[in-house]
Amino acid sequence: FAPWNDPNAKPYIQFDNVTKKFGDFTAVNNLSLTIFEREFFALLGASGCGKSTLLRMLAGFEEPTAGRILLDGQDLRGIPPYRRPVNMMFQSYALFPHMTVENNIAFGLKQDGMPKPEIASRVAEMLKLVKLEQFAKRKPHQLSGGQRQRVALARSVAKRPKVLLLDEPLGALDKKLREETQFELMDLQQNLGLTFVVVTHDQEEAMTMADRIAIIDKGEVMQVATPAEVYEAPTSRFVAHFVGNVNMFEGKVAEQTANTTRIAGSSGAQIVVDNAAKTAAGADIVFAIRPEKIKISSKKPADAVNALEGEVYDIAYLGDMTVFHVRLDDGQMVRASTMNAARITEDPLSWNDRAWVSFRPDAGVVLTR
């Protein structure tokens, strides 16, 4: 499933040069974005970046100041929320406290005038879908947070919208339940064959669930890509920092060959990295590399292209992996992590030991912005 790589795939949801202003404040700035049918799409960004505003415009609670939003080729401007094939699930769930679970789920169907027998069978289907059959007669206050979240979900998909919008859907759940529910949401989306657009500030959540992620900053799209691409090939310092941990080797272009660039840091340390794109000599440049791509050892590795010496600053054992901070002799702090499954036990390092960090020229990405 990768319609974004298919030049013939039809766009489903299109933000076309959309701007949204609140008074003088620009919440969304000339933003364009394409989402495909049946995609699980995440809008990821820090608080206030404009991601909820994007969702609210798609739902019809706000209209763009400029630009268009299309769904299946149709311009949505002027179409009221209840006439859009889109439903929104809010963080607060907004369940009716005095109604049972089944009546909460049936509410929208009754309003639409669906015949009673059909409502009953649809509600039963939804209860099964979210595994709440035994809880049909309970009221929301008699449920756990996770169960309430599932009722809200069942209610939002009961009307079979084509698109479900989820604004921080798991925000109220604790970490363990959040993780479980992320997988449940993915399964549900697969089973229903709907298009999901989820807003989150949690990069792990976006990475876990989404087919693709749009990283938003100050009302603009910084990058749209699959979780793996966003992590392995960020196109800017902002994205590299926002998703996962990263080391940045900053410097200036010292020398270029056909495919490599030598970067000179301000303290004199130099590294050589793959860079087929080439960057002008003397330009500011950064090599961004993830902690698990950095090797740490007590002796200088014999064949490493890039090896930098320093001192172990601290070590944290996290169960699945161990994280080292090494303060290089030029002062830069480097984060290196090793998976404990493959940990080399003959080379134990302790706090304050001298250590070498090394990495391959192709283990990270060159960024110029």
Q: Which stretches of the chain bind ligand ATP, using CB under 6 A?
A: 22, 25, 27, 45, 47-53, 201
Nearer to ligand ATP, 45 or 364 (CB): 45
Nearer to ligand ATP, 53 or 223 (CB): 53
Nearer to ligand ATP, 21 or 38 (CB): 21
Please state, as a whole number, how many other Cβ atoms lie within 10 Å of the Cβ of residue 41.
Answer: 24
- Torsion over CA: 14, 159, 77, 165 (sign): negative
Nearest Cα to 332, choosing from 350, 316, 310?
310
Residue 220 CB, nearest approach to ligand ATP (Å)? 12
Q: Which residues contact 96 (CB under 8 A, 6 or more apart)?
A: 103, 104, 107, 140
Q: How many residues does the chain have?
A: 369
Which residue type does 360 have? R
Residue 214 CB, nearest approach to ligand ATP (Å)? 12
Q: Are 349 and 316 in contact (CB under 8 A)?
A: no
Residue 67 CB, nearest approach to ligand ATP (Å)? 16
Q: Which residues contact 316 (CB under 8 A, 6 or more apart)?
A: 322, 323
Please state, as a whole number, how many other Cβ atoms lie within 10 Å of the Cβ of residue 56.
Answer: 19
Residue nearest to ligand ATP (CB): 52
Residue 49 CB, nearest approach to ligand ATP (Å)? 4
The alpha carbon of residue 155 and the mean position of all alpha carbons in its chain are separated, in whole angstroms, by 25
Residue 206 CB, nearest approach to ligand ATP (Å)? 13
* Lookup: tokens for 239: 């994205």
CA pair distance 313, 316, nearest whole angstrom: 10
Residue 26 CB, nearest approach to ligand ATP (Å)? 9
User: CA 115, 119, 125, 127: dihedral to nearest 10 degrees?
Assistant: 180
Beta strands 40-44; 195-200: pairing state: parallel
Nearer to ligand ATP, 55 or 288 (CB): 55
Residue 241 CB, nearest approach to ligand ATP (Å)? 17
Residue 45 CB, nearest approach to ligand ATP (Å)? 5
Reduced to 3 states (helix: H, G, I; strand: E, B; else coil), residue 164 is: strand
Nearer to ligand ATP, 45 or 64 (CB): 45
Q: At what angle do helices 145-158 and 116-129 cross, to 10 degrees?
A: 140
Nearer to ligand ATP, 200 or 306 (CB): 200
Nearer to ligand ATP, 50 or 234 (CB): 50
Nearer to ligand ATP, 46 or 281 (CB): 46
